[in-house]
Chains A and B, each alone.
Chain A
Amino acid sequence: MFFTQTNWRPIAEGIFIPLGSLVLALVLFGVFVTILGNNPLMVYEAMHQTAFGNWRTFQGTLLRAAPLMLTALCTALPARMGLMIIGNEGALVIGGLGAVITGLLLSYGNLTPSLTATPAELSPLLIQLSMALAGILFGGAWIGIVGALKHYRGVNETISSLLMNYIAIALLNHLVEGPLKDPRSLNKPSSFAIPEPFMVGNIGDTRIHYGLIYGIIACLVAYILIQRTTFGFAARVAGGNMKAALVSGLPVGKLTLVICFLAGSCAGLAGMVEVAAVQSQANSSLIAGYGYSGILVAFVARYNPIAAAMVAILLGGIINSGGTLQRNFNMPDATVLLFQGLVFLVVIYSESLYGRLSWFRQSQSQ
């Protein structure tokens, strides 16, 4: 037979299980919406309109997807090697700090310029690249520590990266309240701002900044690295069977360190994008939950970088619709958080269904 059933059944499974999970999560979400006395169908419609309804609001979705693509890679890349890293938020914060420090040093020569200081006359591109590089190096080094602790001391990477999130946040708070503080920021202690001309600009006449391009490129590069290079193959072998990898002489230690550095550098770049394209300064707005949502994106995408880019847009849409739900339905701002939690739980459950639903089994004759 030319077109056998064996081909489409696993593909159908791969499409129907994620879709079914999303529908189930929506239904469960509807239950919570009803508890607060809203019509779930109207809420779904409003969410869809805000997230993907028209080009103007879709730009907001893409804006939120950009950092998610990058933070997702921080979990997705090491996961291919069997490492469960959840330090995305910390690496984002450290990357953002690195970018702001570099940006200020290059444009003013010091971290706390006088209020009348004028920025140096340098090429904006040079400064942007330096800030991006700083974000990459700082974030990479941060998660690189996690990898080193894992390799040299056997410290569990999940717990250490979780602890490092809190250390990073404490460091941010300390720096923006002390050594980096702009005296003009009273209510929300912040660092000095990166001068306007050196900020990362928008694409054409949209509201979308170039951070989205960074995200898409990073996902593509990560995909090629993991699927199409010997390095990626070695990492996947180690993830599949660590003992086999060791026996066959793969440099597991080097792989661990490099993949952790790359993971952290992606999240660090997300921090740079948030600082240099959105906030212009480092402050507590950096801790917006993009790190934890990035873990969700990596999971739903089953650690595939290309899928992560698409899931990031979907989740960006959900986050984007939060404002509308608050304004139009008087729902709490945590609505989006609850929805994310439900999606996460259902997707995790759906993972156990692969190969178990008789409808998708190849042996069954149709």
Chain B
Amino acid sequence: MASEALGSVGVFVAILGGTLRGSVPFLFVSLGECLTEKSGKINLGLEGTLLTGAMSAYAVSFLLQGKLGSGLAPWIGVMASGLAGLCLGFIHAWLSQQRRVNDIAVGIAMIIFGSGVAFFLGKSFIQPKAPQLPTLDLGFWSTVPAVQSALKISPLFLFGMALAPVMHWFFRSTRWGLIVRAVGDSPDAALAMGISIPKVRMISIMVGSLFAGIGGSGLSLYYPGIWSENISSGQGLMAVALVIFARWNPIQCLWASLFFGGAQALGPALQAVGIDQGRYLFNAIPYLLTLVIMVLTCSPRKTLTGAPGALGEKS
């Protein structure tokens, strides 16, 4: 192993590479969830969206490679994953805004439904190899193969990195951003402004779900770059936790995603240099850390700072 020869530097490079690869789905689901929650609704079902997105991207990329060539087909796959996200987002948005319906319940149903759809329709795509998205080799300057492979960055990652500040600007400085925040913080005020709350929430949830779908295409067309039933290790479920961790701030969603991606990369990187003890406990670090942060920052009397005022309340 190259990383063994490099010793501690090798571990660092492996963690860096793993972080850059592994944070892509986290980044997209957290930004999607952030947008959804800013409008005052929770979408717990992004795990299902992520899986359906991964499956549709892979299937479309595989089916179209003959017609469009393996350069263009994966990009159509990314679009398909976004479309799949929009569809699932529509179901969630419509259902969660019905009378007497709890959005958490809809979320759990959407996890089961989304993963059901993905595995049901995706069964026949488990074997074949679909063309993958191209990567940008930012490690061209190095002669060390480990560094080169660690710095193979997906354009999706750059897109997600750009999306975070754009979303931050959107919430802070645009009229539409204000409208979304108003609906999430104080629906009564939004209503008085003449805003249609169901419409704003519908759009926010659907676009948020679109992001999560694209995050799924990162799983199946970039890293790990296959389609199988255990392709997601719960990244979609982490969305809600990530957004709490990031205090509903898109820029912090970026840092949180990198951090969670890094925590995920820690186990395999240490394993590569022979440290195998407690591999599974490393996997639990992000969950444990989120829990600890919630315990430290919550108090029985007030809600979390940064949380949209009407989050999770009955409409």
The 8 A CB mask of A262-304 against B (1 = contact, 0 = none) is 0000000000000000000000000000001001100100000
With contacts A35-B121, A154-B301 known, is A177 near B280, CB below 8 A? yes
A202 to B117, CA, bound (A): 36
Contact, CB under 8 Å: B280 / A292: no
> Nearest Cβ distance between residue B96 and chain A, in whole angstroms?
9
Of A49-57, A96-104, A156-164, the segment with at least 4 beta carbons within 8 Å of chain B is A156-164
Tell me the residues in window 118-174 of chain A with beta carbons closer than 8 Å to chain B beta carbons: 149, 151-156, 158-160, 162-164, 166-167, 170-171, 173-174
How many angstroms from the CA of A345 to the CA of B45 in the assembled complex? Answer: 12
Question: Which chain B residues (67-121) contact chain A, with CB distance < 8 Å?
Answer: 91, 95, 98-102, 104-106, 108-121
Interface centre among A36, A149, A295, A334, by most chain B C-beta atoms within 10 angstroms, is: A334
Q: How many residues of B contact A (CB 8 A)?
A: 52
Q: Which of B137-145, B220-228, B282-290 contacts A (4 or more CB under 8 A)?
A: B282-290
Beyond A154-B301, A292-B112, A344-B113, whether A159 also contacts B123 by CB under 8 A is: no
Size class of A's contact patch? 35 or more
Judge if B237 is at the interface, Cβ distance under 8 Å.
Answer: yes
Q: Is A352 an interface residue (CB 8 A)?
A: yes
Known A160-B294, A163-B290, A299-B105: A174·B299 in contact at CB below 8 Å: no
In the complex formed, the residue of B with least CB distance to A299 is: B105
In the complex, whether A32 has a CB less than 8 A from a CB of chain B is yes
Query: Which one of B48, B100, B244 has the greatest number of beta carbons of chain A within 10 Å?
Result: B100
CB distance from A184 to the nearest CB of B (A): 20
B294 partner residues in chain A, CB cutoff 8 A: 149, 153, 155-156, 159-160
Q: Which residue of B lies closest to A345 (CB)?
A: B109
Whether a CB of chain A sits under 8 angstroms from the CB of B194 is no
Interface string of A76-105 (1 = CB under 8 A from B): 000000001010000000000000000000
Q: Is the Cβ of B298 less than 8 Å from the Cβ of A155?
A: yes
Determine if A334 and B280 form an interchain contact, defined as CB atoms under 8 angstroms apart.
Answer: no
Query: What separation, in Å, do the CA atoms of A149 and B294 have in the docked complex?
Result: 9
Please determine whether A152 and B281 come into contact, CB atoms closer than 8 angstroms: no
Contacts of A153 on B, CB cut-off 8 Å?
Answer: 294-295, 298-300
Is B234's beta carbon under 8 Å from chain A?
Answer: yes
The answer to whether residues A292 and B111 also contact, given A170-B283, A348-B101, A354-B100 and a CB cut-off of 8 A, is yes
**A89–B287 CA distance with the chains assembled, in angstroms:** 15
Pair B298/A332 contact, Cβ less than 8 Å: no
Taking the closest CB of chain B, its distance from the CB of A314, in whole angstroms, is 16
Q: Which of B108, B241, B294 has the most CB of A within 10 A?
A: B108
Q: Tell me the complex Cα distance, A295–B111, Å.
A: 12
Q: A32-B120, A159-B241, A349-B101 are in contact. Are A151 and B115 (CB under 8 A)?
A: no
Instruction: Assess the A341–B117 pair: CB atoms within 8 A.
Output: yes
Least CB separation from B121: chain A residue: A35
- A338 in contact with B116 (CB, 8 Å): yes
Residues of A within 8 A of B281 (CB): 170-171, 174
Q: For A173, list chain B residues within 8 Å (CB).
A: 280, 283
Chain B residues with Cβ under 8 A from A84's Cβ? 102, 104-105
Is A174 touching B280 in the complex (CB atoms < 8 A)? yes
Decide: B100 and A154 in contact? CB cutoff 8 A. Answer: no
| Contact partners of B119 in chain A: CB under 8 A | 332-334, 337-338
Q: Cβ of B283 and Cβ of A296 under 8 Å apart?
A: no
Does B229 make an interface contact (CB < 8 A)? Answer: yes
Query: In angstroms, how far is the closest chain B Cβ from the Cβ of A244?
Result: 17
Which of these, A151, A163, A341, A349, contacts B95 with CB under 8 Å? A349
Q: Which chain B residues lie closer than 8 Å to A156 at the CB level?
A: 294, 298
Chain B residues lying within 8 Å of A348, measured Cβ to Cβ, are: 95, 101, 105-106, 109
Question: Whose C-beta in chain A lies nearest to the C-beta of B244?
Answer: A159
A170 to B233, CA, bound (A): 12
User: A344 and B300: CB pair below 8 A?
Assistant: no
Most interface-central of B116, B229, B277, B301 (chain A CB within 10 A) = B116
Q: A158-B104, A160-B291, A335-B120 are in contact. Are A341 and B113 (CB under 8 A)?
A: yes
With A334-B123, A345-B109 known as contacts, the answer to whether A163 contacts B101 (CB < 8 A) is no
Whole-angstrom distance between the Cβ of B191 and the nearest chain A Cβ: 21
Does B241 lie within 8 Å of A163, measured CB to CB? yes
Contact of B109 among A154, A159, A167, A344 (CB under 8 A): A344
Given the interface pairs A149-B295, A152-B300, A177-B280, the reply to whether A166 lies near B115 with Cβ below 8 Å is no
Q: Are B98 and A342 in contact (CB under 8 A)?
A: no
Residue from B102, B287, B303 in contact with A166 in the complex, judged by beta carbons closer than 8 Å:
B287
Give a binary string over A32-75; 1 marks a CB under 8 Å from any B CB, 0 the rest: 10011000000000000000000000000000000000000000
Contact code string A333-366 (vs B, CB < 8 Å = 1, else 0): 1110111111011001101101010000000000
A334 near B115: Cβ-Cβ < 8 Å: yes
Question: Is B34 among interface residues, defined by CB-CB distance under 8 A?
Answer: no
* Neighbouring B residues of A171 by C-beta, 8 Å: 280-281, 284
Binding site for A on B (CB under 8 A): 44, 48, 91, 95, 98-102, 104-106, 108-121, 123, 229, 234, 237, 240-241, 244, 277-281, 283-284, 287-288, 290-291, 294-295, 298-303
Closest 10 CB pairs of A and B: A341-B113, A334-B119, A338-B116, A170-B284, A344-B109, A332-B123, A352-B98, A337-B116, A173-B280, A154-B300
Residue ranges of A at the interface with B (Cβ–Cβ < 8 Å): 32, 35-36, 84, 86, 149, 151-156, 158-160, 162-164, 166-167, 170-171, 173-174, 177-178, 292, 295-296, 299, 331-335, 337-342, 344-345, 348-349, 351-352, 354, 356
Show 5 A/B contacts (Cβ-Cβ < 8 Å), sorted by A: A32-B120, A162-B44, A171-B281, A337-B119, A348-B95
Beyond A173-B283, A332-B119, A348-B95, list 20 extra A-B contacts (CB 8 Å): A32-B117, A84-B102, A151-B300, A153-B294, A170-B280, A170-B287, A171-B280, A177-B280, A296-B108, A333-B119, A334-B116, A334-B118, A337-B119, A341-B109, A341-B114, A341-B115, A344-B108, A345-B91, A351-B101, A352-B100
